[in-house]
């Protein structure tokens, strides 16, 4: 699997291209309201294509973004973009249970793959994506935008420099109130990769990993449903992680309350981000009265420019597929622990 993070042949990108062409696969809220507008701000990539199963969306997107007819695909003919030189990258923005299928199709079409988080719904699917990208010599990166966000990058740098000493205890929580809508949205159902853990729980999980620079070794978890008539998947998941050296992390994710905090208590002080995973306004403070001011740019544009530049320069991506796999390995242990009544599970 590690081979997928290695540089690949630069001949895959025509040297005359100033910007790489991106096709958004799935035109729901995140593509419509965040990624497409952000692609109007990027320097190294641009929106060139769309893949959708809803024909009525096509003229709207074409009119707004000038997308050529030849760059419009559906889920049945997406593989045909193998012959389309306008498109260099597919960005998979679909229900979580579909990430593996369409990431593999994109890789087999010879396109670099950007896959939205969570990478997939189990370790096996993550490995299939990694293997497909390695086999087809395309780059794979996972859409963890926080790794590109400047305040978060400062926190990540502290897991090495340790200005406040060794981390001892972390708290990370992410959630929002999800009404459930009309009861049919895919995020309500476990089989489709729904639930709070997959949607929001990867934020606190990934955060305690990047804040410590370590991998957890043990977990205890519980799942709660205050509205079982709405949520077939997990509504709230609480999990405690143990890291090497006795470091512990308490994490929570929920579709029933607003949560957005990352706090790291260390030997010589503490630091906290609140909010830590919002689309804007991420800011922090420390025990010695230092303040981390919010990034004023567009997070998604910065993320996509970083990832496009990695392809152009033939460099390892900031967030390779292995990063997504490591999270899903822990997620599997979290679900296993919850299913066994909160039993401690080795990871």
114 and 224 belong to one structural domain? no
Spatial distance between the Cα atoms of 347 and 333, rounded to a whole number of angstroms: 6
Spatial distance between the Cα atoms of 256 and 124, rounded to a whole number of angstroms: 30
76 and 129 belong to one structural domain? yes
Residue 341, domain extent: 150-294+328-346
CA distances from 264 to 156, 165, 204, 269 (A): 12, 11, 12, 9
**Backbone CA torsion sign across 23, 26, 28, 34:** negative
Spatial distance between the Cα atoms of 268 and 143, rounded to a whole number of angstroms: 33
| 323 domain-assigned | no
How many H helices and E strands in the chain? 10, 15
- Which CATH number does the domain housing residue 280 bear? 3.30.360.10
pLDDT tens digits, one per residue of 295-331? 999 999 999 999 999 999 999 999 999 999 999 999 9
| 174 domain-assigned | yes
97 and 167 belong to one structural domain? no
Looking at the 3D structure of the chain, how many domains does it have? 2
Q: Which of 138, 149, 35 is nearest to 91 (CA)?
A: 35
157 and 173 belong to one structural domain? yes
7 and 140 belong to one structural domain? yes
Cβ–Cβ < 8 Å for 7, 36: no
pLDDT surpassing 70 at residue 6: no
pLDDT surpassing 80 at residue 10: no
Residue 49 corresponds to which tokens in the numbers above? 């294509």
Cβ–Cβ < 8 Å for 299, 149: yes
Strands 236-242 vs 248-254: parallel, antiparallel or unpaired: antiparallel
- Which CATH number does the domain housing residue 36 bear? 3.40.50.720
Residue 179 corresponds to which tokens in the numbers above? 């009404």
pLDDT surpassing 50 at residue 71: yes
Spatial distance between the Cα atoms of 97 and 120, rounded to a whole number of angstroms: 6
| 321 domain-assigned | no
276 and 169 belong to one structural domain? yes
127 and 234 belong to one structural domain? no
Helices (H), the chain: 29, 36-38, 57-65, 99-108, 123-135, 150-161, 196, 202-212, 299-312, 321-339
155 and 122 belong to one structural domain? no
111 and 127 belong to one structural domain? yes
| 55 domain-assigned | yes
pLDDT tens digits, one per residue of 202-259? 999 999 999 999 999 999 999 999 999 999 999 999 999 999 999 999 999 999 999 9
| 47 domain-assigned | yes
pLDDT surpassing 80 at residue 273: yes
Spatial distance between the Cα atoms of 113 and 107, rounded to a whole number of angstroms: 6
The confidence score (pLDDT) of residue 333 equals 98
pLDDT tens digits, one per residue of 136-184? 999 999 999 999 999 999 999 999 999 999 999 999 999 999 999 988 8
290 and 309 belong to one structural domain? no
- Across-strand partners of 91? 24, 114
Spatial distance between the Cα atoms of 341 and 347, rounded to a whole number of angstroms: 17
| 322 domain-assigned | no
Q: Where are the beta strands (DSSP E) in 158-278?
A: 167-177, 218-224, 236-242, 248-254, 256-266, 269-273
246 and 272 belong to one structural domain? yes
Residue 268 corresponds to which tokens in the numbers above? 């010589």
Q: Which of 208, 203, 210 is nearest to 160 (CA)?
A: 210
The confidence score (pLDDT) of residue 16 equals 60
pLDDT surpassing 60 at residue 9: no
pLDDT surpassing 60 at residue 15: no
């Amino acid at each position: 699997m590690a081979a997928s993070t290695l540089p690949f042949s630069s001949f895959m990108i025509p040297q005359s291209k100033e910007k790489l062409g991106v096709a958004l696969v799935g035109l729901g809220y995140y593509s419509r309201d965040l990624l497409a507008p952000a692609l109007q701000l990027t320097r190294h990539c641009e929106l060139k294509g769309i893949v959708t199963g809803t024909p009525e969306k096509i003229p709207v997107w074409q009119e707004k973004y000038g997308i050529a007819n030849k760059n419009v695909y559906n889920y049945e003919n997406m593989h045909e973009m193998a012959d389309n030189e306008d498109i260099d990258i597919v960005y998979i923005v679909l229900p979580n249970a579909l990430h593996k299928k369409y990431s593999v199709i994109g890789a087999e079409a010879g396109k670099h793959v950007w896959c939205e988080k969570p990478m997939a719904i189990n370790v096996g699917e993550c490995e299939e994506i990694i293997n497909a990208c390695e086999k087809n010599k395309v780059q794979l990166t996972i859409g963890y935008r926080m790794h590109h966000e400047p305040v978060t990058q400062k926190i990540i740098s502290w897991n090495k420099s340790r200005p406040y000493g060794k981390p001892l205890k972390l708290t990370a929580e992410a959630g929002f109130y999800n009404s459930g809508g009309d009861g049919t949205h895919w995020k309500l159902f476990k089989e489709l990769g729904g639930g709070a853990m997959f949607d929001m729980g990867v934020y606190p999980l990934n955060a305690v990993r990047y804040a410590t620079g370590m991998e957890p070794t043990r977990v205890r978890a519980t799942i709660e449903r205050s509205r079982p008539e709405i949520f077939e998947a997990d509504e709230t998941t609480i999990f405690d992680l143990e890291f090497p050296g006795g470091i512990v992390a308490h994490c929570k994710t929920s579709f029933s309350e607003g949560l957005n905090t990352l706090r790291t208590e260390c030997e010589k002080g503490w630091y906290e981000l609140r909010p830590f995973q919002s689309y804007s306004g991420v800011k922090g403070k420390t025990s010695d009265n230092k303040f981390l001011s919010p990034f004023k740019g567009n997070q998604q544009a910065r993320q996509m420019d970083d990832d496009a530049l990695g392809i152009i320069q033939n460099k390892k991506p900031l967030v390779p597929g292995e990063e997504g796999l490591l999270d899903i390995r822990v997620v599997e242990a979290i679900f296993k622990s919850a299913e066994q009544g909160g039993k401690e599970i080795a990871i």
